[in-house]
Each structure stands twice: as structure tokens, then as C-alpha cells.
Amino acid sequence: MEILYLLVPLSVVLVFAIMVMFAWALRSGQLDDIDREGERILRNDPDEVDANQAAR
Amino acid sequence: MSLPSSTEAPPELRAPPEAVRALSPTQVVAVDDDRSLAAHTQWIEGLQGERLGQSRLLLSGLHCAACAGLIEEALGRVDGVRIAEVNGAAQRAVVTWDPARTRMSVLIAAVRRAGYGAFPDTGAQAVVQAARESRQAVWRLFVAAFCMMQVMMYATPAYMAEAGDLSADMAQLLRWASWVLSIPVLLFAAGPFLHGAWRSLRERRIGMDVPVTLGIVVTFVASSAATFGSDGPFGAEVYFDSMTMFVSFLLAARWLESRARQRAAQSLDAVMRRLPDAVERLDASGQAEWVTPGELGIGDRIRVHVGQAFAADGVIEQGSTQVDEAVLTGESRPVERGPGQEVAAGSLNLGSPVQVRVTQLGAQTRYQRIVSLVERALTQRPGFMLSADRIAGPFLWVVLGLAVAAYAVWSWIDPSRALWIAVSVLIVTCPCALSLGAPVALIAAAGELARRGVLLQRLDALEVLTRARHLVFDKTGTLTEDRLSPAPTVWLRALSPAEQSGAARLAADLAGQSAHPLSRALVHADDATREGASPPICDWQDVAELAGQGLQARLASGGEAGVWRLGSAAWCHAEGDAPLRPAVWLAREVQGQWQAWARFEFDEVLRPDAASSVAVMQRSGWSVHLLSGDQAASVQGMARRLGLPGEQARAQCSPQDKLAAVEALQARGDVVVMVGDGINDAPVLARSDVSVAMGSAAALAQARADVIVLSNRIGDLLVLHEMAQRTLAIVRQNLRWAFFYNLACVPLALVGWLPPWAAGLGMAASSLLVVLNALRLTRHSAGFPSAEGVAAEPRTA
């Protein structure tokens, strides 16, 4: 159980890292229009990612 | 958010009126004008060094998230558009386009063809501000919620572990970890509460933020003391989990509330928008030049064309016309305006070109004053927040008093336990459930109603609605549609069926020369009988329209050659009683005498669900009234069609009569709900207990109303009422629970049977219970009856 003495502090660091990642996502505007994201899958035009995979 | 099916979206939301009309040539000039572009466009450099415009557009008519994609596609298909990004939540678009290949007016036209409204978005500063605030709110909520999650994880072993399972070192490590993660919650996420509390303390009053902040700070200080010196006066227990949970619940409630308010503001925003329009200014010699409205000065003479909006308040100098003042009065029928009469900026010229001398400009116009009124109404603080503050004040003093008393009494009995008992009292009574109970339920209800197109401007209107006994419609227009349906034609001369149909056709063709609503109804009726529009067969000459009278024109050829008139009874020299419903006459000149041929009558069309909804309202115990300014006979006819008792429909009411009638009902101690839509109804709307404006109502009436029914469905009033009852039931449950909980736990804490960790757990659980209970309001929405469903089934309430 000694590993917990490492893992618990590590999890604190991880929380801060995730919060920084979230801040980056927020600042790049990914959460500005949440309502729309759920319906993106229903749209006709393929996303760039899908188009790349289809070409392969 | 679930996807509302497209069949549910009311047609009014799907296609706003401005989307149907193409841009007029004058609007194209104004939209493409460099000065108006500069207000909402940034010029940037593209990859190949070319000049690109980055323009912001405000959209209207979006009713679900899929609309954003449709608009993006419509814009993307325009040649010259590089990137089109639509933000459905903010109802705004950012378009990057190549000025060498397309123009702004083409982009706006493309959005309109897709069925939505688009306007240059000049209020960019406010938008950037709102976006930053909304991001900040999400960021705070995330920090609080994510830290809460992790702190819960660290707290779990302390709750679950058997004695001896958890070593003292490990327990201490977990406490330190919780402490580290609580700091951002306290200093950053709870920032708004700390600021609010500091502000109200400086102003020497107690707001809701004060007890909240006190709870947060006391919990944190006591837990920190326990973390760093477990023998300290605060005891050995930590409650970081309760604190972080409390903060994230409060932040989530605030975030939801601001979203609901933003949505209401946006739909009003769209109502107020107009495209810029170039104006034809006449100089002293009568020479015309095109200018933007910003260049106009008071005293200028301008010529306003048919279909154009008046750019400024003014007085008509030459010509007479019909004016659509719906934006000001909500009245969809045009009004007659002649020389010397005033016209208001924002209203539409429908009849014929007129010359207007400008009297008021910009912010001084009636239209702009209404806009600023709306903006002020939006910034007002909802009443329920104030009432929550009123409850919280005394509550806090009682709690503080109890905590101090407990400390005093226990330091006399057992000094070692005095402090943690005082802390327990403070924590266990933290007014979380009390302060969340009502707002969370109201916000959940408002959000659910907004999805149906019913906007709540004053949240506490829901509470009043449940007590309402009387529902008053202020005029027939609220219950009817704008269009008129044809009634059987009355022939004033003996004519064969072939002659009758010839005359009807001739009248419709003559009516096609005019934009008067009765003329349009006649043309529409004729199109309907012949299944589709036909080209005009008649060759009319010397067409003249006299405002308030009618049309006169000469038919040059054919069997019915001669001079014809279409219009009022006096204009056509028709005799006999005036009919009870709107009508136009057709007359022909024979040897200097006018012979009335026919009378075309029209019925007002009831909204589809009006009669059934009124029936349900009456069955569920409301008394429905109709106060109209119209003629007695037509009001009685309307009452019969609605199934209203005759004495509840009053005709020929002046605004004072309406006010007196509402006051008479209120004098009996009854609560009155008023449904109105015009500017002249503003005093009655203000006097009633709950005022409801329809989506087609004047902006001013909407700004004053407590509730706006954007869908224009009468049936939505039933939905609103039912939602109000469910909301109030939930609020009562929540408050009863919070009260019961405090009543039960405070004595336990006072006698020292409740350790602080149990107090923290109880506080968190009680707030969670309150929030989940409120969310039931939205969960039932899937099975929410549609307007038709409500109308069809009898209901007892």
C-alpha cells in the first residue's frame, strides 16, 4: 500500500493538469455552443476527419 | 438538451416574417455601403495576401440546434465564402468572405432563402463581453465540480474504512490532498460569492451571499485547522467534501439561471432588429440622392418607397398611404396616414410613395425609445431573488445567534466541545437548501417553458399564476389570426352565375392593384377558388387609390369596359345596413351614376386551438373574459364561437373600461391574468396580476409582459398554467424539506449529538435532494402533452 503515498499526490497533480487542459478547450471556443454538439452526428456533410478516413 | 422535433416548432419560429421577404434594392445599397460594413466587419489578409472580410451576423428564427448547421451550409454554398461558423447558442454567425467575389447583401440573402433572418451585428462589444462572462462561468463551474469529484474520492476512505484499516499517515495524506484541491474552489470558483458578500457587507445589508460565504469560509477554516493540527479547537474532522459540493451546486444553479435569461434576451433581441436601409433624400430643388440613415438631419425631406421602413420619425408632407405599425402597436392591420400626420421610425410604408419631413432621429425616435425600454426591462433583477434575500437575512441572524449561544452555553458545560458544536450548528444550518429550493425549481421550469416557446420574464409570475381565477383576453385579435377568410358574397344586382364569376374575378384583379389588407384578402380568396394565381387579364388604367375610401380604375377593353370602384360603402354609393364583419363593395359607373354590384364579406379566422383551449380553461375552473374595442355584434359572434357566456364578452371597451373591468375583478380579491398585445394595452397589462403577451405583440407590450408566448398558441397558456402548478408544488416540497431538515438537525447539533462531519453530510444531501427534486420538472417533458393533446382531453384541476 506504500504506492498510495505516490499515487495520491500524483492524482492531485493530474487534477490540475486536467483543469489546464479544460481551460485550453474553453479558450479555444469548444464549449461555446454545447447544444449543437449532440446533433453533429446527424448532419450530412462529413467532417474532415471522416473524409480523410473514407479516402484511405 | 434534447432535440425538439421539427413538427413541434411553431411556424412563427421557423420562418420569421423578415426571412420571407427578399432584400429590397434600397436595403442592398445600405448593406453593401462601406460605412455600414465597417461597423461589423474586420478586414483581414488571406493566405495568398488577398483582402478578406470577417463579418459578424445576428441571426433570427433558430429554434433548434440543427438550424445552425443549415445556415452554415447555406452560407458555405455562396461563391466567395471561405468560412462560415454559426453559434446556435448565441444566435450569431461569423463569416469570412472575399469581397472580390461576393457582397454582404448576397450573404444575407442566402441566409434568408434558407428561411432565417440575418442582420449585421453591430453590438460586437456586448457580445464579446457576454461570451467572456459565459466562458468564465463555465470555467468556475468546472473547477468546482471537478475538484469536488476528486475531494469526494479522498473523503470516501474516511467514511468507509473500518477502525484500523486506515493508517494515521494515510488519513493525513488524504486530508492534505483535499485541502490542496479545496483552495482553487475557495479562491477562484467561489469568487462571485465572496465578492457579493463583501459588497453587501460594505453596504451594511445582508444578502444571500453573506450566509453562503460564511458557510464556505467557516467550513474551510475549521477543516484547515483540523488538517494541520488535529488537536486544535475545531476538532479533528474535515468537511472539504461538503464545501466543494455546496459551491458547485450553487454555481450550477447560477449558470442555468444565466442561460435561461440569456435565451429570453436573445429572442427579444431578434424582435427588435431591422436591416439598415438607404434613404432617398430630396434637396431644395427636388433632386434625390441616396444616403444612409446616419447622415440624415432633422428637417430633411425624404421620399419613402412602398415596402420601405421609415428611417426616422416624421410628418408626411405629400401623399397618403397605409402604414404597418405592428412593431409599435402589435396591430397587424395597416393604418391610414395622410399629409400632416406623423409616422414613426421602424414602421413600414405599404400603400404608396410619400414625402416625409424628418422630426426625430436616432435615439429620440419612438422606436429607439422602445428598444431602450426593453433593454432596461431585461436588466432588472427577478423578484424571487429579492424574496430569497428577505428570507435569508433573518434566518442568518437566528443561526448566528444560535451558534454564539451554543458556544456560550457549552463553554460553561464542557469548554473542550464548545467550538465544534458551534461549528456544527453553522454548517448544518447552512441555508443551502433554503436558498436553492425555490430558484432551482423556477429556473428548471423557465428552461422547460422556453423550449416550448414560452418565455418567462418574471419568474415569480409562476407563483401568481397558480392562484389565478380569471383570464382576460384584451381583444379579438389575440384570439384570431391576421388573415381573413372569405364569406359568401352578397350580390346587390340580379346577375347570372356566369356574370357573377366574371364580376368576382374582375374585383379580384382590381384588388390586385392595392396593398390594402382587404384587397389582399380578396386576391387571396380568388386565387384559392381558381387554384393558383393567374396573370391579370384585365387592363386597368388611371388607377387611383384614396386612403380610407378605396380604389378607382378604368377598364379599357372587354365586355365590362368602364370605370369601376372597389372600397367602402360610401365610396361605392351602396345603400343598406353595414354588415357586421369586414367588407368591401364593388361598383360600376353607368351614365355618371354609381351602381353597387356586390359586397364581398370576410370572416376573422380563429386561431386553430382557440375554441378548444378556451373550453378546457372553462372546464378547469377559470372564468374567461373578452374585453374588446370592437362592435357589439362581432364580439358576441366571437363569444358564441368560443363558447363564452354572453356577459363575459364586453364590446366597445375603451382602455379605461378595460382597466375598470380588471380592477373590478381584483376588488373581489381574485387574481387576474391578462393576455394582450398592443401598446394601448400597456396600462391594463401593468395593472393585471400576470400579464401575457403573444409573440406577435408589440415590442413594448412584450417588454412589459411577465410572460411572452412566442408560439402564438392559445393552448400554450394551458401548458404554462400546468407548469406553474407543478413548479409551485415542487417549491413547496423543497421549502418544507429545508425547513424540516433545519428544525430536526439544529437541536441535535445544539445538544452535541451531531458531529460536524455528519452535519456536512446532511447539508450536502439536503441540497442534492432539493436540486434533484427540481430537475423532475424537466424530466417529465418527454411526455408533456402537446397543445392539441391538452385541448382534446378534459381536465380537472
Chain A interface includes B177 (CB < 8 A): yes
CB-closest option in B131, B150, B181 to A32: B131
Q: Could you tell me the pLDDT band of residue B179, with boundaries at 50, 70 and 90?
A: very high
Set of chain A residues whose Cβ sits within 8 Å of the Cβ of B127: none
pLDDT for A21 beyond 90: yes
* Stronger pLDDT, B716 or B683, i.e. the higher one: B716
Strand partners, B692: B675, B707
Give A32's contacts in chain B (Cβ within 8 Å): 87, 89-90, 131, 134-135
A17 touches chain B (CB under 8 A): no
Which segment, A11-15, B209-213, B583-587, is predicted with the most confidence on average?
Answer: A11-15
In degrees, to the nearest 5, what angle opens at C-alpha B99 toward C-alphas B94 and B102? Answer: 85
Give the whole-number percent of chain B exceeding pLDDT 90.
Answer: 4
Give the mean model confidence (pLDDT) for residues B445-456: 76
Looking at residue B143, its pLDDT comes to: 94
Of B71-75, B154-158, B289-293, the least confident: B289-293
Asked if B87 lies within 8 A of A32 by C-beta distance, the reply is yes
pLDDT at residue B38 above 50? yes
Chain A residues with CB-CB distance to B169 below 8 A: 5
**Residue B174: its chain A contacts at CB < 8 A?**
8
Structure confidence at residue B181 as a pLDDT band (50, 70, 90): very high
Q: What is the average per-residue pLDDT within B367-384?
A: 54
Q: How far is A39 from chain B (nearest CA, A)?
A: 7
The pLDDT score that the predictor gives to residue B797 is 31
Closest CB from A5, A22, A36 relative to B173: A5
B19 pLDDT higher than 70: no
pLDDT for position A19: 93
Mean pLDDT, residues B25-33 taken together: 77
CB contact under 8 A, B65 and A22: no
What's the pLDDT at B16? 43
B323-327, B382-386, B499-503, B752-756: range with highest mean pLDDT: B499-503
Instruction: Give contacts of B3 with chain A, Cβ < 8 Å.
Output: 38-39
Q: How far is CA B17 from CA B14, B270, B332, in A?
A: 10, 12, 12
Q: What angle do CA B466, B469, B473 make, to 5 degrees?
A: 105
Which DSSP string do the residues of B466-523 spell out, in sequence order? TTEEEEEE--HHHHEEEEEEE-PPEESS---HHHHHHHHHHHHHHHTT---HHHHHHH
- CB B481 within 8 Å of CB B610: no
How far are the Cα atoms of B265, B407, B607, B642, B646 from residue B474, in angstroms, in the given order?
25, 61, 15, 15, 16
Q: What is the pLDDT of residue B559?
A: 67
Instruction: Determine phi and psi for B503, rounding to 5 degrees.
Output: -65, -40
Band (B9; pLDDT cuts 50, 70, 90) = very low
The yes-or-no verdict on residue B721 having pLDDT over 50 is yes
Is B231 buried (19+), middle (13-18) or exposed (0-12) by CB count in 10 A?
exposed
pLDDT at position B270 over 60: no
Contacts for A19-27 with beta carbons within 8 Å, 24 or more apart? A19/B142, A19/B143, A19/B146, A19/B184, A22/B139, A22/B142, A22/B146, A23/B139, A26/B135, A26/B138, A26/B139, A26/B142, A27/B135
- Name which of B56, B73, B135 to mutate to probe chain A: the one with the most chain A Cβ atoms within 10 A of its Cβ: B135
Q: Kindly state whether A27 is in contact with chain B, defined as any CB-CB distance less than 8 angstroms.
A: yes
Task: Tell me if B90 and A12 make a contact (CB, 8 A cut-off).
Answer: no
- pLDDT of B793 higher than 90: no
A11 contacts in chain B (CB < 8 Å): 150, 153, 177
The predicted pLDDT at position A17 comes to 95
Amino acid code (one letter) for B157:
P
DSSP 8-state secondary structure symbol assigned to residue B309 = B
Nearest residue of B to residue A29, measured between CA atoms? B135
Closest residue of A to B154, CA-based?
A: A8
Q: Is the pLDDT of residue B687 over 80?
A: no
Taking contacts as CB-CB distances below 8 angstroms, the residues of chain A near B62 are none
Please indicate if any CB of chain A lies within 8 Å of the CB of B173.
Answer: yes
Q: Could you say which of B88, B181, B184 has the minimum Cβ distance to residue A35?
A: B88
Q: Which residues of B touch A27 (CB under 8 A)?
A: 135
Which among B634, B757, B682 has a CA at the least distance from the CA of B226? B757
Q: Measured between beta carbons, which residues in chain A are less than 8 angstroms from residue B66?
A: 39, 42-43
**CB A36 to CB B68 under 8 A?**
yes
Tens of pLDDT, residue by residue over B289-316, are 877 777 788 888 888 877 777 888 889 9
| Average of per-residue pLDDT values in chain B | 76
Beta strands in B46-116 (DSSP E): 51-60, 81-87, 92-97
Range from B365-369, B519-523, B639-643 carrying the lowest mean pLDDT: B365-369
Measured between beta carbons, the chain A residues lying within 8 angstroms of B65 are 33, 35-36, 38-39
CA distance B344 to B311: 8
What ipTM does this complex have? 0.81
- Report residue B437 CA to chain centroid gap: 25
Q: Is A18 left (phi over 0), alpha (psi -120 to 50) or beta?
A: alpha
What band does B188 get if pLDDT is binned at 50, 70 and 90? very high
Closest CA to B540 of B564, B517, B519, B559: B564
Cβ–Cβ of B170/A26 closer than 8 Å? no
Q: Which residues of A touch B87 (CB under 8 A)?
A: 32-33
Does pLDDT of B15 surpass 60? no
pLDDT band at B377 (very low <50, low <70, confident <90, very high): very low
Residues from chain A that touch B151, judged by Cβ atoms under 8 A, are none
User: What integer pLDDT is reported at residue B151 of this predicted model?
Assistant: 93
- Flag whether residue B131 sits within 8 Å of chain A, measured between CB atoms: yes
DSSP letters spanning B157-180? HHHHPPTTTS-HHHHHHHHHHHHH
Identify which of B89, B146, B180 has the shortest CB distance to residue A12: B180
Residue B537: its pLDDT value, please? 60
Q: What is the pLDDT of residue B2?
A: 37
Choose from A24, A32, A45 for mutation: most chain B CBs within 10 A: A32
Is A3 within 8 Å of chain B by CB?
no
Q: Looking at the partner chain, which of B1, B87, B146 has a beta carbon nearest the beta carbon of A15? A: B146
Answer yes or no: do B142 and A26 touch at CB < 8 A. Answer: yes
Q: Report yes or no: B260 at the A interface, CB cutoff 8 Å.
A: no
Q: Which residue has the higher pLDDT, B155 or B779?
A: B155
Tell me which H or E stretch contains B597: strand B593-606
Strands of B204-300 (E only): list them: 279-282, 288-291
pLDDT at residue B180, rounded to an integer: 94
Contact across the interface for A33 and B68, Cβ inside 8 Å: yes
Query: Which among B275, B272, B268, B375 is positioned nearest to B327, based on CA atoms?
Result: B272
Cβ pair B170:A1 closer than 8 A: yes
- Residue A22 has its nearest CB partner, among B1, B142, B177, at B142
Q: How far is B131 from chain A (nearest CA, A)?
A: 8
Give B199-257 pLDDT, tens digit per residue: 878 877 666 677 678 778 877 888 888 888 756 555 667 778 878 887 887 787 777 76
Nearest to B88 among A8, A36, A45 (CB): A36
Specify the amino acid at residue B312. Answer: A
**Does the pLDDT value for residue B470 go beyond 60?**
yes
Helix (H, G, I), strand (E, B) or coil at B579: coil
Chain B interface test: which of A2, A7, A12, A22 (most B C-beta within 10 Å): A12
Q: Indicate yes or no: pTM above 0.80.
A: no
Q: A4 to chain B: which residues are within 8 Å by CB?
A: 170, 173
- Chain B's closest residue to A20, CA to CA, is B143
Q: Please state the φ and ψ torsions of residue B746, each to the nearest 5 degrees.
A: -60, -45
- Alpha-carbon distance B55 to nearest alpha carbon in chain A (angstroms): 18
The pLDDT tens digits of the residues spanning B79-123 come to 888 888 887 766 778 888 888 888 888 888 888 888 787 888 766
**How close A53 gets to chain B, by Cα (Å)?**
22
Task: Sort out which chain B residues have CB atoms less than 8 A from A34's CB and list them.
Answer: 1, 89
Q: Among A3, A5, A30, A39, pick the best mutation site for testing chain B contact (most B Cβ within 10 A).
A: A39
Q: Determine whether the interchain pair B89/A36 forms a contact, defined as Cβ–Cβ distance below 8 Å.
A: yes
- Using the Cβ of B150 and the Cβ atoms of chain A, whether some distance falls under 8 Å is answered with yes
pLDDT at B386: 54
User: Is any Cβ of chain A less than 8 angstroms from the Cβ of B386?
Assistant: no
A35 close to B (CB below 8 A): yes
Q: Do A9 and B177 count as a contact with CB atoms less than 8 A apart?
A: yes
Confidence of residue B788 (pLDDT cuts 50, 70, 90): very low
- Answer whether B1 touches A (CB < 8 Å): yes
Whether chain A has a CB inside 8 Å of the CB on B138: the answer is yes
